[in-house]
Structure 1
Amino acid sequence: MSGVVVTGGASGIGLASAKALIADGRAVSLFDLSPSVVAVAELLGAHGVVVDVSDTDSMATAVEQAAAAMDGIDGLVHAAGRVLPEPVGMFTIESWDAVVDVNLRAQALLSQLLLPHFEKALAAGAAPAIVGISSIEGLVGNPFIPAYCASKAGLLGLTRSMAGQLGPLGIRVNAVCPGFIDTPMLADALAVPEVKSAFVSAAPLGRLGQPEEIGAAVAFLMSPKASFITGTQIVV
């Protein structure tokens, strides 16, 4: 079996997803902007690449490196993400693009780069799959982070579109919509007691989610157990 590319793999949901996939016996290549990804990957017995997923040329090189390291690629988990608290009236073109490029554009372009590798995997009898990390904010919205909400809602549209196109080939495409999860991305917000309390109060279970709980959902959707699930999302 060839391997899975996991973006944002150095920490948070990406790292938790990678660990869950490795526990399922999958080879994994971690993509991350942080130089720490190489050491993190080494600890997991995985492959790691320092790459900016908003840089198309760098991603193309990273994909080829990952394919060589794992003897092929048959999966993608796009967990790299960015959020900026800039409501309408405050954001700039540059800051809007910075969020959308990482959260949405990167999955589309990376999927395109990976398609030839998926086709090779299909010819070898594999069942390629893609899971994008969307967000509860892509479903309900948040007045303070419009670029983030738009990008995560857009990722759900991309999921349905790609599932329709790639399904006849045997490639599944799904998304996971995390709620409020205790990750580095939320660290600044969680450092404010009132904000943390609001997040906890909004959760039906009365607590924050853990990255491992998202990783479990990702691993399920990437596995044969989800072989007839495509074009949809799981809210966790």
Structure 2
Amino acid sequence: MSKSANPGSGVIITGGASGIGLASAEALAEVGRPVAIWDINTERSVAVAADLADRFGVATVGVGVDLSAMANIAPALEQTRAALPSIGGLVHAAGISLAVPVAEMTEAQWDAVLNVNLKALPFMVQQLRSLLATQPGSAIVAIASINATLGNQMNPAYTASKGGMLSLVRSLADDLARDGIRINSVTPGYILTPMMQPVVEHLEPGHFERPVMLGRMGAPREVASAVRFLLSDDASYITAAELVVDGGTIASQRTR
């Protein structure tokens, strides 16, 4: 992707210190976009921001923020605005995956997952909207999951949060379009992230690869490329869409 296809405004990446969030931050910094790394791990977010600034020569900031409480959004945004020249994008990659079935689920566990994965998105949009509206090409990408479509008895809260995200993105798209702001979702399949690594090691070899048409797990950078595209001017007529990056898993009839 050419640098000219990307707006020059800064992008906030939640969960930006690891996994898909980190890969997305790298992909954006690579084409010259300033980035704010929002992550619950403050030390890690600061370190990642410093590394990206050193490698790509862009303005960065690392912000420690716990998105389970909506009151934490405003101070994180204030710190970001002080460090970046502008804000024209948001990637909501922060998420909690809690493998607890319904029979064992507590209300606190349910709320912990839904608050970060789903509830934080509209409240970040609420506070970012006026800033995004001033930047040509502003766009938002929400990271969903194939679990929004495929049933998963072991992870009902995560599944519900990602299914809700797909519907929420369509609703927000209808609203934000009035200000020229696009919003889309990216649905990753089985991606080998630090969060997935322990699960992969626990299960038998080939467990996740078996149902994938392409026969392998994906890499975070492959999802990040889709994120970067949707934030670029190359996607200027795309909003309310779900871009599936799953190697053909959802469409597969292979034995799971």
TM range (shorter): over 0.9
What is the CA distance between 1:187 and its match in structure 2? Answer: 2.1
Deviations 1:40-60 (A, max 9, x none): 110101211011112222211
Structure 2 unaligned blocks of 5 or more: 1-7, 54-59, 246-256
> Paired residue for 1:177, among 160, 163, 187?
187
Partner of 1:69: 83
Partner of 1:3: 10
- 2:126 corresponds to 1:112: yes
- 2:55 corresponds to 1:41: no
Structure 1 unaligned blocks of 5 or more: none
Partner of 2:149: 139
Partner of 1:157: 167
**Paired letter, 1:189:** V
| Aligned ranges 1:80-95 → 2 under 5 Å | 80-95=94-109
Deviations 1:23-43 (A, max 9, x none): 121110000001211011101
Q: Which has the higher helix share?
A: 1
> Percent of aligned positions with the same letter in both sequences?
48
- TM-score normalised by length of structure 1: 0.95
Q: Distance in 2 between matches of 1:54 and 1:157?
A: 20
Deviations 1:54-95 (A, max 9, x none): 222221101111112112211100000111111111110000
**Paired letter, 1:53:** L
- TM-score normalised by length of structure 2: 0.88
Q: Distance in 1 between matches of 2:201 and 2:114?
A: 25
Deviations 1:105-139 (A, max 9, x none): 11111111111211232xxxx12100000001111
Q: Distance in 2 between matches of 1:108 and 1:93?
A: 21
- 2:36 corresponds to 1:29: yes
Partner of 2:56: none
Partner of 1:211: 220
Q: Distance in 2 between matches of 1:151 and 1:222?
A: 23
Partner of 1:58: 72
